[in-house]
Amino acid sequence: MNIQNKLNFSRRIRRTPFTSSVEKHGVTGFSVVNHTLLPKSFQNSIDEDYLHLQKYAQIWDVGCQRQVEIKGKHALELIELMTPRSISELKPGKCLYIPLTDENGGIINDPILIKISDDHYYLSVADSDVLLWARGLAIGFSLNVRIREPDVWPLAVQGPKATHVLAKIFGDRIYSIKKFNFDYFLLDGSSQLIAKTGYSRIGGFEIYLSRPELGKHLWETILEAGRSENIRPGSPNIIDRVEAGLLSYGNEMTVENTPLECNMDKFLDINKEVDYIGKKVLLRQIKYGVKRRIRGAIYEGPELPTISTPLQVFDTDKRTIVGSLTSGAFSPHFKSNIGLGMIGYGCWDNNREIFVKISDQEFRKGLIKDLPLIQ
């Protein structure tokens, strides 16, 4: 596919080391995240990709997950300042999901933190400008750190066959990596960081390629190694994501939402001794409670397309708006439409009856559900 017929290119929209490979293998659509191309679809339907992901392996170009590298004497101090999650006990070789908050407790981003050494970290970020935020804080607090975006490009291999595929390339040591851990493996004489992380319920690995000139080689090597495992190109799948309750920054949550509103309680150490930005607001929310929370929903009726414009959620009277769904699709697992969204206080209990407004003439009966939808 010639994507230049679909997007007007400039230096503001960046290709990845894998873009030419996804073009070669039939990409049919892109999004743009962090000013970088993110493949969103190939020749197969969303349903077909979902079913394939549950059984086999897929290779995803997620180079749009840009890295914010923080290195130096005060690296730990800066990151502790940025997040309500304690990271002081994190060991090198570990990864951690952390929300970053502003002075109002709002989520600036929800990256994976990668601890390379005691004074060296990566923040693998979603679609917001963490780089400038981190640099501003470092200047404001006079911290001795170097902050930059390194030339590192993640490539994901997800699905139940992912480990078998990568073992053919990198050896059986890949089997020993535990979830949210990483190690280094040789690729064409270079050492590459591979983490057991990924944006799917099934799980898999992300390769943080630090030699972008090897992008085509790595892509083709993985496809060849995975031929017997029925590997194919794919992308983060909306059905899988909603079933897993995996949140998308800019969809389910923005800087207007706090981590407590986004069900991140288990990822927080709100009372940690180290001060952090937004602490007073989050302590106040703990004391008085939140007025809205992200919940799942399952609602009846014929299959609907993926949600592109938020759908209003009503109480059973069909007059009172109690929230909205911002992501959703039809689930082959539930054989029903499913969604994620922010629901108001008093209306978010599991199995509470609701109506989802599809149009002025159509409401669909449904139920609020705890997350993840598939336990």
Tell me the pLDDT tens digit for each residue of 141-200. Answer: 999 999 999 999 999 999 999 999 999 999 999 999 999 999 999 999 999 999 999 999
Which are the contacts of 11, defined by CB distance < 8 A and separation ≥ 6? none
**Domains contained in the chain, CATH given:** 3-60+155-177+188-242 (3.30.1360.120), 67-148 (3.30.70.1400), 291-375 (2.40.30.110)
**DSSP structural state of residue 347:** S
Other beta carbons within 10 angstroms of residue 183's beta carbon come to 17
Beta strand spans in 164-266 (E) = 182-187, 190-195, 204-209, 232-234
The reported pLDDT for the residue numbered 1 is: 46
The reported pLDDT for the residue numbered 6 is: 60
- The pLDDT of residue 2 is above 70: no
Residue that the structure tokens 């170009």 belong to: 61
Phi and psi dihedrals of 222, rounded to 5? -65, -45
Q: Is the four-CA dihedral 325, 327, 329, 335 of positive or negative sign?
A: negative
The reported pLDDT for the residue numbered 12 is: 87
User: What mean pLDDT comes out for the span 233-239?
Assistant: 97
The reported pLDDT for the residue numbered 195 is: 98
Q: Please choose, from the candidates 102, 72, 76, 41, the residue with its C-alpha nearest in 3D space to the C-alpha of residue 277.
A: 102
Tell me the pLDDT tens digit for each residue of 239-248. Answer: 999 999 999 9
Tell me the pLDDT tens digit for each residue of 3-50. Answer: 445 666 677 899 999 999 999 999 999 999 999 999 999 999 999 999
The reported pLDDT for the residue numbered 24 is: 96
Tell me the pLDDT tens digit for each residue of 306-330. Answer: 999 999 999 999 999 999 999 999 9
User: What mean pLDDT comes out for the span 359-370?
Assistant: 97
> Which pLDDT band, with edges at 50, 70 and 90, does 62 fall under?
very high
The reported pLDDT for the residue numbered 10 is: 76
Q: How far apart are CA 275 and CA 34, in angstroms?
A: 29
What mean pLDDT value characterizes the chain?
A: 96
